[in-house]
Amino acid sequence: MRKKIMLGNWKMNHTITTAREFVETLDDTIKLADRKNIVIGVCPTYLCLNTVRRRTPFSFVVGAQDVHYLESGAFTGSISIPMLKEVGIDWCLVGHSERRMYQGETNELCNKKIHALVNNEMTCVYCVGETLEQYEQGITKDVVKNQVVEGLKDVQAERLKYLVIAYEPVWSIGTGKNASKEIAEDVCKFIRDTLCELYNSEVAESISILYGGSVKPNNIHEYMTMADIDGALVGGASLKTDSFKELIENF
Ligand code: PGA
């Protein structure tokens, strides 16, 4: 059975003080997620990781938003896997569209990060998705296939137990224009078919695929009714404890 997942991506939001306030009110939400068998968690900024990790039970996922693929070195501003592990972090986003857009991250760079993470037994949430222009040109599947194939180049099948894929159409992120459940399902199924081609059906069936992009408490459930969508990566609606809880209530 694939894991059901609801992961918040806090982006550049929350200070240590407000992150601490957020986790102080989480008890009921965590219990509810446990009862509903949903893996939940958040990806705070680096500065808040330690605070959130120390104040939440181990079942609550705390992930980084990015990582360098090397262990150490002259890379000003970067954080490495051993640094994350030291504070108990074992999940990390890779290739979020905002990093692809503003930091120029390529599929090739994502591939290096994915290798580094899965080889270090860290769960990698690999984000893929087309821009509005690509959507309008009708090349969504070409773009997403390329991202999946190049991102997973030479990653061994037995390492894929550490992989989660998040399909996030760029035109739906932070815009309030969420993709319909049919569009999201079509692309998530296409990703699963691509994984089947690259590996085999057993592997493809075992990987959780999330939808992300303007997911809110009032629309999360429609995605969860679709066969190939196993959860959600949520930005804006994950920032406040009330809506975070409602996402789990309505999952
Ligand atoms: P959003 O962000 O829910 O605010 O659209 C999603 C994401 O970027 O992961």
The C-alpha atoms of residue 241 and residue 244 are separated, in whole angstroms, by 5
Q: What are 241's two structure tokens?
A: 């404890």
What length is written for the chain?
Answer: 251
**Of the candidates 100, 20, 6, 16, which has an alpha carbon nearest to the alpha carbon of residue 59?**
6
The whole-number pLDDT of residue 1 equals 81
Averaged over successive runs of 10 residues, the pLDDT of the chain (251 residues) comes to: 96 98 96 97 98 97 98 98 98 98 97 98 98 96 98 98 98 93 98 98 97 97 98 98 98 98
- Measured in Å, how far apart are the chain's first and last C-alpha atoms? 17
The whole-number pLDDT of residue 193 equals 98
Task: Yes or no: say if 237 and 243 are a contact pair by the CB < 8 Å rule.
Answer: yes
4-250: what fold? TIM Barrel (3.20.20)
Give domain limits for the chain.
Answer: 4-250
Give, for ligand 1, the residue of 100, 128, 164, 173 to mutate: max count of ligand atoms closer than 8 Å to Cβ.
Answer: 173
pTM of the full structure: 0.98
96, 98, 115, 222: the catalytic one is 96
Q: How far is the CA of 172 from the centre of ligand 1 (A)?
A: 8
The whole-number pLDDT of residue 90 equals 97
Q: How far is the CA of 144 from the centre of ligand 1 (A)?
A: 18
Binding site membership of 234 for ligand 1 (Cβ less than 6 Å): yes
Q: What are phi and psi of 22, to 5 degrees?
A: -60, -50
The C-alpha atoms of residue 152 and residue 115 are separated, in whole angstroms, by 8
> 91 pairs with which residues across the strands?
63, 123
Side chain identity at residue 89, one-letter code: I
Question: 221 an active-site residue?
Answer: no
Q: How far is the CA of 141 from the centre of ligand 1 (A)?
A: 20
The single residue listed with the structure tokens 């938003």 is 65
